[in-house]
Structure 1
Amino acid sequence: MSADDAFTLAVGLAGLAAVAAVVSSRLSTLIRVPSPALFLIAAVAASSFFPVLETVPRVLDEHVVSVALVFILFDGGMHIGWSRFRNSLGPITWLGVAGTAVTAAGVALAGHLLLELPWQQSLLLGAALAPTDPAVVFSVLGKREISGRSGTILEGESGANDPVGIALMVSLLAATGAGLDAVTQGLLTFVLQLLIGTAVGVLGGLTLRWALQRLALPNEALHSIWTLAFAVVLYAVGTLLHGSGFLAVFLAGILIGDVRAPFKREIDRFSSGFSNLAEIVVFTLLGLSTDVTAVVRPDVLLPGLLIAALLILVVRPLFVGALSIPLRLRWGERAFVLWAGLKGAVPILLGLSILASGVAHADRLFGIIFVVVVCSVVLQGGLVPFFAGRFHIPMRVREPEPFAVGMRLTAEPEGLHRHVVQHGSEADGRRVDELLDGEDGWISVVRRQGRLIRLRRDTVLHEGDEVLALADDEGGLDRLFDAP
């Protein structure tokens, strides 16, 4: 086979793998197995049958996963948005920082006492397994979307503890020596990572917010590409300044999440698709980077199962549960947040960082991380829909919307606002003519369960209805449609 034919075959196989991975999301819904688990299993099987796939340098895997994580965190921040993040800033920050620290400490303590690992290896294992992954939670929920404060806290905590966990790992790997000097050095590195990442993220997010509202490109598709490219630049700037580039990207995504800007819906959809592709890449690389024979060794498999059980049943429920006591949540919402702290992309990246660091017994630590992630995605993740029902978590079903009817305008429509009728709001169960009298504004379009409904004065609005309303005072509309 010629070099050109070999290249063409490789490109074709890569495209075929991408097609199969995307279609597998439908299979995941049918068999109730999280789609990341399917990617992982398929990659492990492929590397077993074709050993040449295992020859990809692990440092390249680490770099690719880092770039993929940029898109995942940026899209996660956009999905939360500033208004939702602001309303739950305290709980998100508290669980994102303190929850990560206590989880890492609990796993490290278990590793040192039960597995008899040295403290350095135990701390690295704890830091790697502390972050959670909201993308895995959403993949196992399928069409159902968590509503209410618990959903915001779960998303925000997962987005915040990813950069915190990475900064903690960087601090541990950068610390040299032992004793108080090493602790001080590691703590200083950790704080600087977060402070610099926050500064770059806020400044970059505000700059991006300003640019999105004013930048005019010759093609509407370029706005989406430009936005994601800007996110990559923020990651690079934050990292080169010795800060957390991942935190910078996450905060920038939050700041532009609910901004009103031209082509914003196209940017959201493009970013969401790219984030899904990035998640596929991460779990595929994890499978390709793993030697099955090394994982099933007793000194890897059994400790991995033990740490997974302790993490799911003891560490997160007790340690993070204690931190969640001040939060205003129903017991079912609190229990669901504690159960749904699944492991995903970031532990994989941190495991690859441990491999690249040259730490003693790094292969064993990576194998244990692999076992824990698999248990979390397959077992813990597979039970997320079951516990969501048992804990009475408020959710709504988001059906695909294959058709769209819209109108393009050259300027932002002043006074036009989109709202969703929330449960218990003033609009829930009220007639249209009882809400707006035409002088303060009026409702122009109502969509219910994916279909437009004929709008009359006596039309009654219900929870979940999407409304387009014309009014000068958007704050007054918020009062009508938002839950008290």
Structure 2
Amino acid sequence: MNDVKSFAILVLVLAVVGLLAVLSNRLSERVHLPAPALFLAGAAVTEKVISVLPAPPERLVERVVTVALLCILFDGGLHLGWRRFRSAAAPITAIGIAGTFLTAGAAAVLCHFAFGLNWYLSLLLGTAVSPTDPAVVFSVLGRREIAGRSGAILEGESGANDPVGIALMASLITAGGVSGSGFLHVAGEFVLQMGVGGAIGVIGGRALLWFMRRVPLPAEGLYPLRTLASAFVLYGVATLALGSGFLAVFVAGIILGDARAPFKREIERFHSALASLAEIVAFVILGLTVDLDQLGHADVWIPGLVLGATVAFVIRPVLVGLCLWPTKLKRNERTFILFSGLKGAVPILLASYLLAAGIEQGQRLYGIVVVVVAFSVVFQAGLVPTVARLLKLPFRTVEVEPWALGVRLADEPEGVDRFTICPGSPADGRTVEQLADLPGEVWVSFVIRDRELLQVRPGTELRAGDDVMVQTEPERYQELVAMFESPAPTDSGASGSPRPD
């Protein structure tokens, strides 16, 4: 009976912690701090105050955060989608790969000359702090979504440079030092991991899409579980094939993002909720590994603050800015992207690899990375809303819509798509009747304005921000994208939104 009570207490404590973590998102909107920062700090303080609470084993932390990161990357790929990725593929690739290498190299130079670390430890530390986590940016912005290509670039960068950083760190640890042969080994391992991971992601994503469309299941709740299990399969296959399982999962998510499949909306909602849970779990368990006494040492917090500030305000604006220079982004969008290179769970995960590998001064390096992440999510992230406001960045507010209206069909609907009317688009200001002047038949069946369903009549005037459901010939889809979602003259990079499921 005592065991039952002890288990009940454990369940109660975990449930209360989970509820507080969910509610902390409301607090983060008010204080302009990302929710992950609250999870990390809360767990670290709890571990310090409750002295009997043991720190989780390093291997367990690595495994749990790995699974959490897979869930986050797959959901990130689903949200990004192939169409948005394609519109910003060049800058995403440039800053996701070249930008990560340049950041790691410049940070290593700083660590070597400023902190007296040898070149090998400097490269490890520079690699650990190179990946970004724009999801932290979106947590700070709340319900405001960045318009144009800026949001797609930030999302794509986090998905791209996380696998890049992980593959680079694994290659450096395997190399065991700095030498000519070591660099050749790192280069070979990196190319292998990226190539195999990307290939398995594309092939596996297309195979999973075929599986989703052609193999029905007996219950609705099984469809999201199938995609989750399939994502883990892709990670396992890619890793066993010496590729990057993280990249494979992210790429597969991108392939599925815009595609139609049975119960696609339910699948997306499931993975979005799972990613939110994974973020909570990752930051909480990482917070439990933080030794606040270790962070108080001068040889930890001073290098951490110097490195965090230099990466944020010097290295990233200069070197990643060079990677973004050829892109046709407006100055305010480019500036916001360069400022918003916030750090998250992946740098701490990479630092935990150093502990697991028994790297010299591993505890000190781990503490420095924690300080860098803390500086990024507290100080730098706190300035993101102010910077966005000063730059007059184009935003659209995403309102919570708790009520849904729809129908279930046994077969896939042909030629039915949902669009959001952009300011200045050809449909902006037209009436439903005037759309009939277009070649072919265009039937507007739903118009949602200010979160309310309008009665559609021939004289109903369409306005920017309206969500419309349109039926026409399937081959006219791209024409309708240009009609309803062509960007305003001041936002040349926006792209059409994905088809509904």
SS in 1 for 2:53: helix
Per the alignment, residue 138 of structure 2 pairs with 138
Secondary structure of 2:410's aligned partner: coil
Cα distance in 2, alignment partners of residues 463 and 78 from structure 1: 26
Alignment pair present for 1:12 and 2:7: no
CA distance in 2, matches of 1:182, 1:253: 33
| Deviation by residue 1:239-295 (Cα, 9 ceiling, x = unmatched) | 111110000000000000011111111111111111111111111112100110001
Greater alpha carbon shift after TM alignment, 455-464 vs 407-416 = 455-464
Please, which of 476, 479, 485 is the counterpart of residue 476 of structure 1?
479
Deviation at 1:475, TM superposition (A): 2.3
Measured against aligned partners, the alpha-carbon deviations of 1:362-381 in whole angstroms (never above 9, x if no partner) come to 00000000000011111111
Q: CA deviation at 1:458?
A: 2.2
* Distance apart, 1:177 and its partner CA: 4.9
1:441 corresponds to? 442
Separation (CA, whole Å) in 2 of partners of 1:427 and 1:268: 29
Q: How much is the aligned-residue C-alpha RMSD, in angstroms?
A: 1.4
Shift of 1:415: 1.7
Shift of 1:352: 0.9
Alignment of 1:40-119 (within 5 A): 40-119=40-119
| Conserved 8 A contact 1:205-1:252 | yes
Name the aligned partner's letter for residue 456 of structure 2: L
* Alpha carbons 2:120, 2:178 under 8 Å: kept: no
Aligned to 1:383: 383
User: By how many angstroms is 1:405 displaced?
Assistant: 1.6
1:315 aligned residue? 315
The code of the aligned residue for 1:334 comes to R
- Matched residue type, 1:458: G
Please give the alpha-carbon distance, in whole angstroms, between the structure 1 residues aligned to 2:257 and 2:164. Answer: 21
Residue 114 of structure 1 aligns to a residue whose secondary structure is helix
Q: TM-score scaled to structure 1, two decimals?
A: 0.97
Which moves more between the two structures, 128-137 or 51-60? Answer: 51-60
In structure 1, runs of 5+ residues without a counterpart are none
Q: Is the 8 A contact 1:436 1:443 kept in 2?
A: no
Task: Output the CA distance in 2 between the equivalents of 1:456 and 1:392.
Answer: 37
Quick one: distance in 2 between partners of 1:465 and 1:236?
43
Question: 1:134, 1:159 within 8 Å by CA — same for their partners in 2?
Answer: no
Within 5 Å, give how 1:410-421 maps onto structure 2. Answer: 410-421=410-421
Q: Are the structure 2 counterparts of residues 55 and 177 from structure 1 closer, same or farther at C-alpha, using a change threshold of 3 Å?
A: closer
- Number of aligned pairs? 484
Amino acid at match of 2:282: V
Q: Specify the SS of the correspondent of 1:54.
A: coil
Q: Residue in 1 aligned with 2:220?
A: 220
Cα shift readout 1:114-135 (whole Å, capped 9, x = no counterpart): 1111111110111111111121
CA distance in 2, matches of 1:129, 1:412: 46
For 1:8-407, what aligned pairs fall within 5 Å after superposition?
8-407=8-407
Please list the CA deviations of residues 425-458 of structure 1 after superposition, one character each: whole Å capped at 9, or x if unmatched.
2112222222234852211101122211222222
Note if contact 1:54-1:289 (Cα within 8 Å) is conserved in structure 2: no
3-state secondary structure, aligned to 1:131: coil
**Which range moves more in the overlay, 371-380 or 413-422?**
413-422
Query: In structure 2, the residue corresponding to 1:94 is in which secondary structure?
Result: helix
CA offset digits 1:300-352 (Å, max 9, x no partner): 01110100110111010111112211011111000000011110021121011
Q: Deviations over 1:449-476 (max 9, x none)?
A: 2211222222222222111001002222
- In 2, are the aligned partners of 1:95 and 1:157 still within 8 Å (CA)? yes
Describe the superposition over 1:174-230 as per-residue Cα deviations: whole angstroms up to 9, x where unpaired.
113542111111110111010110111011100111122223111111111111121
23-32 vs 304-313, which moves further: 23-32
Contact 1:201 1:252 in 2 (8 A): yes
Counterpart-to-counterpart distance in 1, 2:149 and 2:178: 43
The answer for the alignment partner of 2:467 in structure 1 is 466
- Unpaired segments ≥5 residues, structure 2: 488-501
After TM superposition, give the deviation of residue 12 of structure 1 in Å: 2.2
Match for 1:355: what amino acid? L
State the alpha-carbon separation in 1 of the partners of residues 299 and 142 from structure 2. Answer: 36
Q: For the residues of structure 1 that align with 2:142 and 2:215, how far apart are their CA atoms?
A: 35
SS at match of 2:419: strand
Larger mean Cα displacement after TM superposition, 308-317 or 48-57 = 48-57
Determine the structure 2 residue equivalent to 1:454: 455
Contact 2:418 2:469 in 1 (8 A): yes
CA distance in 1: counterparts of 2:364 and 2:142, whole angstroms = 34
In the TM superposition, what whole-angstrom CA distance separates every residue of 1:69-111 from its partner, at most 9, and x where no partner exists? 0000101111110111112111111111000000101111110
